[in-house]
Structure 1
Amino acid sequence: MAKIGKTRLDSGWLAARSTEIDLTGVQLTTTHPPSGPSSPWMEAAVPGTVLGTLVKNKLVPDPFYGLNNEAILDIADSGREYYTFWFFTTFECKLSGNQHVNLNFRAINYSAELYLNGHKENLPKGMFRRHSLDITDILHPDGKNLLAVLVHPPDHPGTIPPEGGQGGDHEIGKDVAAQYVEGWDWMAPIRDRNTGIWDEVSISVTGPVKITDPHLVSSFFDDYGRVYLHSTVELENKSSWTAECTLTLQVTTELENDVLLVENVQTEELSIPPGTSKQHTLLPAFFYKPNLWWPNGMGKQSLYNVVITADVKGFGESDSWSHHFGFRKIESVIDNATGGRLFKVNGQPIFIRGGNWILSDGLLRLSKERYMADIKFHADMNFNMMRCWGGGLAERPEFYHYCDIYGLLVWQEFWITGDCDGRGIPVSNPNGPLDHDLFLLCARDTVKLLRNHASLALWVGGNEQVPPKDINTALENDLQLHPLFRTEIAKSEEDLLLKSDQDPSQYLDGTRVYVQGSMWDGFANGKGDFTDGPYEIQNPEDFFKDDYYKYGFNPEVGSVGMPVAATIRATMPPEGWAIPLFKKLASGFIEEVPNPIWDYHKYIPYSKPGKVHDQIEMYGHPKNLDDFCEKAQLVNYFQYRALLEGWTSRMWTKYTGVLIWKTQNPWTGLRGQFYDHLHDQTAGFYGCRCAAEPVHVQLNLASYFVETSSQM
């Protein structure tokens, strides 16, 4: 009997370009499987992308080093077939009795044909959707199974105009996919547009009854002294007979020395007819004064382990699901005093100081270890929010897990950006992606994937743009707040029951605000005009001036981010080690002229002729790379410390929050980062850590008054 539970298929994969394989998928998974990594087959990066696989096998140069990316064939020039690849693996699975097994792909970009032991299934389009196939009846009798997947790139990979631009020619916006891949002012194009099996692959073995997508919601009353845990699950009976099922919910917390304390256990009996699915809402579990989950700087990130188990009479444990869950309530409204969006956690207002997040790695080489380091860096900077920008990913559960652990609230956007969806020259796709139903399917599936995480604070329709009207209306309806989350917490159990016209766990979400776009409804000027930014070097004292930024919450303000000299040497050949030319203008200002490699890696200068004198020259003319980078670190420190201190200076009187563009780089870029792609911090990291400490004393650089501040 196979073991009940999930097994990841993350090793032993092979890959080959489809045009170099004459065999069909049926042949590959029956009579002619590849025997190993011999040409044209190679070791594959799964999870990963085609380009990641080619880099792994040294068949293309590292696109993040120097100008190597220019030597890699772009899909616009090669055609989609060039980056259409076979992926092949084997796995063992032999069932017995009333066991069933599903093959799961958590994400594929962009569509695929799947062959298992000679049987074919089409995996439909969409970068942000899960695929789960019942393969019980097509497993090989001896338990050794052959799997081949033919992965196709996005339908509209687009071309890269010679002048570059935000999102290339915007064609990628016609698909439901990450949009940064055509290049941006901080990112070179990704040549395969991230084609591949880029997220987890697994098989999951169950008994007759399968658990799918449980939804957990906590509701509070009596001044957070008492709480209900609501839970709704989807149950599917895969057998040919009525399943008498015992559903158990258990909540535990971990004490010292790995001791588990059981906080709550409850069971319910139900019958599920053969071959049917049903949604079942358990009776709410009651807790008295549970430990609450707080954002970074406000308290502990208390997490409980929730386990839901389905036992079937005559079979035993059929399926089990677990998740770390934090009891907390997040509220978000437009603040009357500032006009900015105000967040409250567990009834306490929180001043937002955080950053914009693109993704961990531009080639989607994602790992738990890298995510852990990324998120811990943000917590160490005393940040309390990360915004997942709409041109990047619906971030992965591992990302959210570490945000739960380290207390980073997350603003998650869907896949709309103004640059690719409704503006630009020529005007990009004014109606967003071509397939609106596909967009909504991916959005709803993303909500189900992420909604149980304590750190998830806000859904946003898009970056500097709103989704098309029909999509936006559907999202507003799907993500409307449950009555319990539209008002203050209930004062009594009777009040709670009056508000609960329906169990909140039956909603798709119902606990977090949905905002249509990143510059609407309390962000920037709230009307969608371009009132975020700026994105360049500033005089440090300007951040403190009353006329620097007029609105209550700036979702994007950016500046420099030069890394240390060791990073330049590790990521560029010697010709890239030349520091910029300092061109003295008649006005007395300096224009920095970087070398071509720095320019390709999106270097942003430390001067702005006519406004900001060169901040590096303030410390003396740099002699060489080490001297330049050392002086740049001094500027990085003071630039970002002053930025955050300027916002802190008017905490609650003018501002409710600020998010810096951006905190990190998904490649070896030279702007807007507090640590580089090699995970080496810039001095901006330490400037932020100082300025955002929970209790902070600072000098107002405009008034020269000494000020103090507190996180809350």
Structure 2
Amino acid sequence: ITGLVPFLCLLAVTNHLVQVWQEFWITGDVDGRGLPISNPDGPLDHALFLLCARDTVKLLRNHASLALWVGGNEQVPPIDINRALKNDLKLHPMFLSNQTTKNQGKYLSQDPSDPSRYLDGTRAYVQGSMWDGFADGKGDFTDGPYEIQHPESFFKNSFYKYGFNPEVGSVGVPVAATIRATMPPEGWSIPIFKKGIDGYIEEVPNPIWDYHKYIPYSKPGKVHDQIELYGHPKDLDDFCEKAQLINYVQYRALLEGWTSFMWTKFTGVLIWKTQNPWTGLRGQFYDHLQDQTAGFYGCRCAAEPIHVQLNLASYNIEVVNTTSDKLTDVAVEISVWDLDGASPYYKVTEKFVVPPKKVKQIMEMEYPKMKNAKPVYFLLLKLFRLSDKEALSRNFYWLHLPGKDYKLLEEYRQKTIPLEIGSGISVSGGTYKVRMSIKNKSKKSAAESTTSVSTMELEDRNGVHGISEETNCVVQKSGLWSKIHRNIDLARSGDKPRTLEVKGIDSGVAFFLHFSVHTSESSTGENYRDTRILPVHYSDNYFSLTPGEKMTADISFEAPEGSKPRVILRGWNYHLNHAVMM
């Protein structure tokens, strides 16, 4: 999968239909470009290329997720190959547009009615990723950009000129454990932050990061350093934790910005790229060891079919309906939380309707213009159905007032928020399925408790309070989970459910919590050994909980033979590292 096209239902990171942009093996990196020009005539053996292409079509043509055939990436095939592919992959008349020309009508009447006589016949062939309606349609390099952006830039009409961007990317540093596991200690040093006379910071990476194509979190003269917004990083762990915050914000904003212009300006976008085939330090949703970055979950949040979002340029609250059904009898709950645990702003909108395949502006976010607005605050948006309080979408933001930064969040790390953590475990052979439940036990503010509809009154489709952090991840009840015995902490506890109460003296948001799965080993120092079990599939990760909120996450993985897996929860203001042993 090369990327995402949310308006065409190409949702590579949700539980919904996945569709694939299938390119053949022509790439601008090796065919007809460079100094000296590489492979000016494309593949050395054209007949072999076409044999393989036709075999690939036969292999994939019955796959429901296949959307397009594309001749080449940032390049078109040589003339003879391109002509052959156009002929092989011509559309059967029944799949042509209804707005046919006279010539097309003549072709329709003469064409055999049996689609099986076509090599495919059901999907369009595009000769190159920037041709035939993509980017500027002329093959000029009008895709990208591939660097850090101000999050609000994605929402501006001036950001990208054309309707469909076949490639756009951003940053993608993984967690510190991946850096240590894939690089020698010389590569564990973070970039040097050099401040220029213009006030912009240039990140100077170590030679190993430079070799691994590191994309900085600043763009001197254009984008102030996004890491420094949270305070100067102290070490590798601090740098990578702050990088995950930015990864999440960047990719959510990227997709929400495109979605905000859905069908009015933009028809789609593909993100480059989902992963690096080596230990690259640039745009990615999961790293070389198959651990998802926070950007994965930011993207997944933005790509849900029914979605509530904040336009970061206009500060309008918007509801996106990419489905073919009208959305009726819905409202948005808006709650602001400050760093003291209070909710200074709370509102539930009037009910409204969102037509199919439309974006509806609901209201302007009022809080930043209020007299006593806090310089750093959290915003929780929930879209719900009024008739049954069913939560349809949940979106959590951390924001600062214009001209401010996030440095106050450094002090917020010292908060001790009370949590209730539960777990359920099912083991079959080496396959583990874990259900984690996390509840923020902070008391809700008086302002919220007096309203007619509160955050905790919203229910998901199974009547369970709360939904997963950034997507509508519903708790599925089945016979499997009714048989699960629960345990917490260091040993099995039999068949009785148990929970862990984490005492805390503070009230507020449990911010940026995230799970990881480890063996029972420990590792420190230069002879570092990665104790993580990978890959792991999380129904949600990198989430935050406002006071009173509860979420549930399903975790599944294959454990190495003889290991004793443990799930560890960490967070911005949660550092106890409680482990659930299997």
Matched ranges for 1:549-568 at <5 A? 549-568=160-179
Q: Secondary structure at the match of 1:351?
A: helix
State whether structure 2 residue 71 is matched by structure 1 residue 464: no
2:346 maps to none
State whether structure 2 residue 242 is matched by structure 1 residue 631: yes
Judge conservation of contact 1:606–1:616 (CA < 8 Å) in 2. Answer: yes
Judge conservation of contact 2:91–2:124 (CA < 8 Å) in 1. Answer: yes
Q: Secondary structure at the match of 1:684?
A: helix
2:28 maps to 418
1:473 maps to 83
Deviation at 1:487, TM superposition (A): 4.0
Judge conservation of contact 1:636–1:684 (CA < 8 Å) in 2. Answer: yes
CA deviations on 1:539-594 (whole Å, 9 max, x unpaired) are: 11111111100100001001100111111111122221111111111221111111
Closer, same or farther: CA 379–635 of 1 in aligned 2, 3 Å = closer
2:13 maps to 379
Judge conservation of contact 2:10–2:20 (CA < 8 Å) in 1. Answer: no
CA deviations on 1:93-152 (whole Å, 9 max, x unpaired) are: xxxxxxxxxxxxxxxxxxxxxxxxxxxxxxxxxxxxxxxxxxxxxxxxxxxxxxxxxxxx
Judge conservation of contact 1:353–1:659 (CA < 8 Å) in 2. Answer: no
Aligned counterpart for 1:649 among listed residues 247, 260, 271: 260
Q: Secondary structure at the match of 2:165?
A: strand
CA deviations on 1:198-226 (whole Å, 9 max, x unpaired) are: xxxxxxxxxxxxxxxxxxxxxxxxxxxxx
2:19 maps to 409
State whether structure 2 residue 141 is matched by structure 1 residue 530: yes
Deviation at 1:500, TM superposition (A): 6.8
2:129 maps to 518
Deviation at 1:653, TM superposition (A): 0.2
State whether structure 2 residue 7 is matched by structure 1 residue 351: yes
CA deviations on 1:605-641 (whole Å, 9 max, x unpaired) are: 0001110110000000000011000110111111111
Aligned counterpart for 1:683 among listed residues 268, 288, 294: 294
| Aligned counterparts of 1:419 and 1:572: Cα–Cα separation in 2 | 27
2:150 maps to 539
| Aligned counterparts of 1:453 and 1:696: Cα–Cα separation in 2 | 28
CA deviations on 1:402-455 (whole Å, 9 max, x unpaired) are: xxxx63111111111122222222233332122222211111111112212111
State whether structure 2 residue 433 is matched by structure 1 residue 433: no
Judge conservation of contact 1:520–1:527 (CA < 8 Å) in 2. Answer: yes
Deviation at 1:536, TM superposition (A): 0.4
Aligned counterpart for 2:216 among listed residues 591, 598, 605: 605
Judge conservation of contact 1:483–1:500 (CA < 8 Å) in 2. Answer: yes
| Aligned counterparts of 2:98 and 2:292: Cα–Cα separation in 1 | 41
Q: Between Structure 1 and Structure 2, how many residues are aligned?
A: 313
Judge conservation of contact 1:354–1:658 (CA < 8 Å) in 2. Answer: no
The gaps in structure 1 that reach 5 residues or longer are 1-295, 297-342, 344-349, 356-377, 383-405, 490-496
| Aligned counterparts of 2:89 and 2:9: Cα–Cα separation in 1 | 25
Aligned counterpart for 2:226 among listed residues 605, 615, 620: 615
Aligned-pair RMSD on alpha carbons?
Answer: 2.3
One-letter code aligned to 2:146: Y
Judge conservation of contact 2:10–2:17 (CA < 8 Å) in 1. Answer: no
1:482 maps to 92
Larger CA Rg, structure 1 vs 2:
1
Aligned counterpart for 1:696 among listed residues 307, 310, 329: 307
Judge conservation of contact 1:590–1:607 (CA < 8 Å) in 2. Answer: yes
2:192 maps to 581
Q: Secondary structure at the match of 1:379?
A: coil
CA deviations on 1:508-557 (whole Å, 9 max, x unpaired) are: 11111101000011110111111000010011111111110010000100
Judge conservation of contact 2:13–2:296 (CA < 8 Å) in 1. Answer: no
1:705 maps to 316
After TM superposition, the score normalised by the length of structure 1 is 0.42
Judge conservation of contact 2:10–2:19 (CA < 8 Å) in 1. Answer: no
Q: Secondary structure at the match of 2:13?
A: helix
Closer, same or farther: CA 353–557 of 1 in aligned 2, 3 Å = farther
Judge conservation of contact 1:353–1:644 (CA < 8 Å) in 2. Answer: no
Matched ranges for 1:3-14 at <5 A? none
Deviation at 1:499, TM superposition (A): 8.5
Q: Secondary structure at the match of 1:690?
A: helix
State whether structure 2 residue 203 is matched by structure 1 residue 592: yes
Deviation at 1:502, TM superposition (A): 3.7
| Aligned counterparts of 2:257 and 2:70: Cα–Cα separation in 1 | 26
| Aligned counterparts of 2:166 and 2:160: Cα–Cα separation in 1 | 12
Aligned counterpart for 2:52 among listed residues 414, 418, 442: 442
Closer, same or farther: CA 679–419 of 1 in aligned 2, 3 Å = closer
Judge conservation of contact 1:354–1:659 (CA < 8 Å) in 2. Answer: no
Matched ranges for 1:335-346 at <5 A? none
| Aligned counterparts of 2:97 and 2:301: Cα–Cα separation in 1 | 36
Q: Secondary structure at the match of 1:563?
A: coil
1:572 maps to 183
Q: Secondary structure at the match of 1:554?
A: strand
Judge conservation of contact 1:354–1:660 (CA < 8 Å) in 2. Answer: no
Q: Secondary structure at the match of 1:597?
A: helix
State whether structure 2 residue 62 is matched by structure 1 residue 452: yes
Judge conservation of contact 2:309–2:319 (CA < 8 Å) in 1. Answer: yes
| Aligned counterparts of 1:668 and 1:428: Cα–Cα separation in 2 | 26
Closer, same or farther: CA 499–675 of 1 in aligned 2, 3 Å = farther
| Aligned counterparts of 1:456 and 1:520: Cα–Cα separation in 2 | 19
Judge conservation of contact 1:649–1:700 (CA < 8 Å) in 2. Answer: yes
| Aligned counterparts of 1:487 and 1:634: Cα–Cα separation in 2 | 44
| Aligned counterparts of 1:587 and 1:604: Cα–Cα separation in 2 | 21
| Aligned counterparts of 1:661 and 1:685: Cα–Cα separation in 2 | 13
CA deviations on 1:286-315 (whole Å, 9 max, x unpaired) are: xxxxxxxxxx9xxxxxxxxxxxxxxxxxxx
One-letter code aligned to 1:465: Q
One-letter code aligned to 2:83: T
Judge conservation of contact 2:276–2:284 (CA < 8 Å) in 1. Answer: yes
Matched ranges for 1:382-401 at <5 A? none
Higher relative contact order (CA 8 A, sep 6+): 1
One-letter code aligned to 1:659: L
| Aligned counterparts of 1:353 and 1:567: Cα–Cα separation in 2 | 32
One-letter code aligned to 2:52: C
Judge conservation of contact 1:616–1:635 (CA < 8 Å) in 2. Answer: yes
Q: Secondary structure at the match of 2:320?
A: strand
Deviation at 1:696, TM superposition (A): 1.2
One-letter code aligned to 2:74: E
Judge conservation of contact 1:561–1:684 (CA < 8 Å) in 2. Answer: yes
Matched ranges for 1:150-169 at <5 A? none
| Aligned counterparts of 1:458 and 1:464: Cα–Cα separation in 2 | 15
